[in-house]
Amino acid sequence: MRLEADPTLAQSLESLRRSERPLTAREIARAIPRSSRPDPGAIEELLRHDGRAVQWPPKTASAPPRYWMRRPREVAAAALIEAVANAALSASDLQKKLARHAARFSAAQRRELVESLLPALAAEKKVFVHPAPGKGKPAYGSRPPEAARYVGKLRKELEALAASLASAGITREQLLDALRASPASAPAAAPLAARVTEYLKSRPGGIGVGQLRDELGVGKAEFDQAVLDLYRQQRVYLDRHDWPMGLSQEARDQLVSDGAGNYYVVIGLQDADAESIP
Closest by CA to 259, choosing from 115, 131, 139, 157, is: 115
Domain-terminating residue out of 68, 88, 118: 68
Name the DSSP letter for residue 141. Answer: E
The total number of structural domains that make up the chain: 4
Does residue 186 lie within any of the structural domains? no
Q: The domain containing residue 135 runs over which residues?
A: 72-141
| Boundary of a domain, candidates 44, 68, 92 | 68
Same-domain pairing of 90 and 133:
yes
Q: Is the pTM of this model over 0.75?
A: no
- Co-location of 204 and 268 in the same domain: yes
CATH of residue 218: 1.10.10.10
- Candidates 204, 253, 258, 260; CA nearest to 226 is 258
Q: Which tens digits make up the pLDDT trace of 89-115?
A: 999 999 888 877 776 677 887 888 888
Please tell me which residue, 81 or 252, carries the higher pLDDT value: 81
Question: In 3D, which of 95, 135, 101, 134 has the Cα closest to residue 118?
Answer: 95
Single-letter code of the amino acid located at 42: A
Q: Please, which pLDDT band fits residue 278 given cuts at 50, 70 and 90? A: very low
Q: Identify whether the C-beta of residue 92 lies closer than 8 Å to the C-beta of residue 59.
A: no
Q: Tell me: the pLDDT tens digits for 156-187?
A: 999 999 999 999 999 888 888 888 775 544 44
